[in-house]
Amino acid sequence: MSKGKISLIGIGPGAVEHMTQRARDAIKEADTVIGYVTYIQLVADLVEGKEIIKKSMTEEIDRAIAALDRAQLGCKVALISSGDAGVYGMAGPTYEVLFQAGWTPDSDIEVEVVPGASALNTCAALVGAPLTHDFCSISLSDLLTPWPAIARRVDAAGYADFVIALYNPKSGRRTRQIVEAQRLLLRHRKADTPVAIVKSAYRPMQRIEFTTLDKMAECDIGMLSTVIIGNSCTFVREGKMVTPRGYANKYGAGGETHSGEKAGHSLSTGLNGWLKEIAASGESAEVLAGRYGLPAAYLEELLNSSDAAPVDG
């Protein structure tokens, strides 16, 4: 009996040109293809003559179990995800099912994860360069994650000034989540913070809309949309949403950002320069905590560590 294989394949946003060569080859190598109908249709030319198991959106675990069952019989199974299979995709549930069945990497089933361009990559490319500084993705789907956990992440990302890509922002039944995300973010960010909404990137129904944080929730957002929310430096110019590579341009002469970071010294010397600066200032952890928005206990520890000993010059 030949060795079974499960390939977890990310096919990118949908257009054939944006699928990797490895994704195409891995689909060709398979004898069984499992996936959501829309995604299988996107690779129709590659799946002829293969066993096709079409599953609906809500049956992730069933898909993983079906893949395992076939692979145990020696089949080469391709599990197809849009974007990247490891980003809110089939890779996680599949490993969970495999481990539950006692699978190890040297067992009879080979597993390959084939990376693909995720929605945040493809949507960012369409709107400009919004992810050029630190960003995070948050899924607003509360089907498998309790809402308070999602809200905490939205709040923390807002506080920490991440650019945010919202996956699963809204559906027919989940309409309130985007409104609550907006409410949380407006506590940290200006009303005119740029927001881009990309629907069906690189698919025939592609639609791009630019708006601002205060109007975001009123826009046309659905299951096939990704919402990109800028940080405090993101701007829109000539129809392109851009996040500067660093914070340097935020500083006027001697100016400070909301995070209390000073231009000049600390920017050019980074962590070490800042450490020397706070150690030399002689200020208390509480005062520094207020200025930098960092936990006082952390600053206390830092000031007591040997690295922060004041140095001459």
Residues at the site binding ligand SAH, with contacts judged by CB under 6 A: 13-14, 81-84, 87-89, 118-119, 123, 167-168, 198, 200-203, 223-226
User: Among residues 118 and 234, whose Cβ is nearest to ligand SAH?
Assistant: 118
- If you write DSSP's letter for every residue of 185-252 in order, what string do you get? HHTTS-TT-EEEEEESTTSTT-EEEEEETTTGGGS---TTEEEEE--TT-EEETTEEE--SSSGGG--
Closest separation between CB of residue 192 and ligand SAH, Å? 24
How near is the Cβ of 225 to ligand SAH at its closest, in Å?
6
Give SS3 for 8. Answer: strand
Closest CB to ligand SAH among 125 and 223? 223
Phi and psi, residue 148, nearest 5°: -60, -35
- Least gap, CB of 139 to ligand SAH (angstroms): 7
Residue nearest to ligand SAH according to CB distances in the complex: 83
Q: What is the closest distance, in whole angstroms, from the C-beta atom of residue 131 to ligand SAH in the complex?
A: 14
In the complex with ligand SAH, the residue whose CB is nearer, 185 or 285, is 185
CA distance 215 to 212: 5
- Residue 17 CA to residue 288 CA, distance in Å, equals 51
Q: Which is nearer to ligand SAH, 81 or 182 (CB)?
A: 81
Report the alpha-carbon distance of residue 292 to residue 258 in Å, rounded.
Answer: 8
Smallest gap, in angstroms, from Cβ of residue 144 to ligand SAH?
12
Cα 250 to Cα 118, 211, 283: the distances in Å are 30, 22, 25
Q: Which is nearer to ligand SAH, 32 or 118 (CB)?
A: 118
